[in-house]
A = this chain, B = another copy of it.
Amino acid sequence: MTNILILGGGGMIGQKLAHHIAREGWHGQPASVTLHDIAFPPDGAPAAQRITGSLADTDAAEKLVASRPDVIFHLAAIVSGEAEQAFDKGWQVNMFATWNLLQAVRAEHEASVGSYRPRLVFSSSIAVFGAPFPERIDDEFLTAPLTSYGAQKACCELMVSDFSRKGFVDGVSIRLPTICVRPGTPNKAASGFFSGIIREPLNGQEAILPVPDSVRHTHASPRSAVGFLVRAGTMDLDPLGARRSLNMPGLSCTVAEQIESLREIAGADVVACIKPVPDEAIMKIVEGWPRDFDPSRAKALGFEAETDFAQIIRTYIDEDMTAG
């Protein structure tokens, strides 16, 4: 039985990944899933084990890796906004905890005389990129982040690649686009409105749109994100060579196109819940974000995202509204 460890297993994506594995198994076979996070939702995804704690705690990584999981998903992170405000905490959790995880894996690798070399899937982010950039970012564009979060993710990618090159781990970093539509209550992330302008109107609530509807951004649904993770966890990584960071595909569209899709699916009354309230601070942040990608490598490796925004809305309705 495949032992799978999901760090950040209490979060939205971690939970959906655990649900997916419970439903589909791993390579079609049952798997034993251990979830680790600082907290878990009530009535959460099934798991063989739930471990509560911070990956930044002393010895946390060593203890988690001691059971030698076959596959490790590392989704745990301080989010962008918090990492920007809490400088030390951001670097400690987002970078040093990843370093500790990699060192713990290496220690088990060496204790096993090289036989233990787990698959590690690290969830990175398009925040590793910073403006100015071309209209479409290709697979050879530099990582020049404009946030501490992005810098921390970019450092971790370099470590995952180097530990993999040395043979201590079989790792890959996948750079996720903005996940949309995020279920649940609105959060204070600057990107929150991309989900909010769909989710709130569908639930009969007002949603604030802080940017012009000409803003272009790249999205993928939570279902696509889980698909990326599963593929990254099961695929042969040798074709990647030494470049083990991959830009994930996503759907690039404008806010106007998002709204038009919502109108087609749910009607003008629902769209009327969107209230434009320009916010200079959010506009400034959003201007620094990538608009579109040409993720040729990931596409050639079979990674797939939605091809129109209506699919993204329907995934939310199907997966989260009916469940909620």
- Interface, chain A (partner B; CB < 8 A): 87, 130, 139-146, 148, 151, 154-155, 158-159, 161-162, 165-166, 242-243, 245
Contacts and interface: CB of A to CB of B under 8 A. Distances in A.
Contacts of A151: 158-159, 161-162
Given A151-B161, A155-B159, A161-B151, A142 B142 contact: yes
B141 A166 contact: no
Given A87-B166, A166-B87, A145 B158 contact: yes
11 contacts: A87-B166, A141-B142, A142-B143, A143-B158, A144-B242, A144-B245, A145-B158, A148-B162, A148-B166, A151-B161, A151-B162
B154 A158 contact: yes
Contacts of A161: 144-145, 151
B165 A146 contact: yes
Among A143, A144, A162: residue with most chain B CB under 10 A: A162
Given A130-B243, A142-B142, A144-B242, 13 more contacts: A87-B166, A130-B242, A139-B142, A140-B142, A141-B142, A144-B243, A144-B245, A145-B162, A146-B165, A151-B159, A151-B161, A154-B158, A155-B155
Contacts of A158: 143, 145, 151, 154-155
A47 to B, nearest CB: 33
Contacts of A154: 158
A259 B87 CA distance: 52
A167 to B, nearest CB: 11
A15 to B, nearest CB: 30
Nearest to A244: B144
Nearest to A99: B91
A161 B148 CA distance: 9
A216 to B, nearest CB: 20
Contacts of A141: 140, 142
A139 B142 CA distance: 8
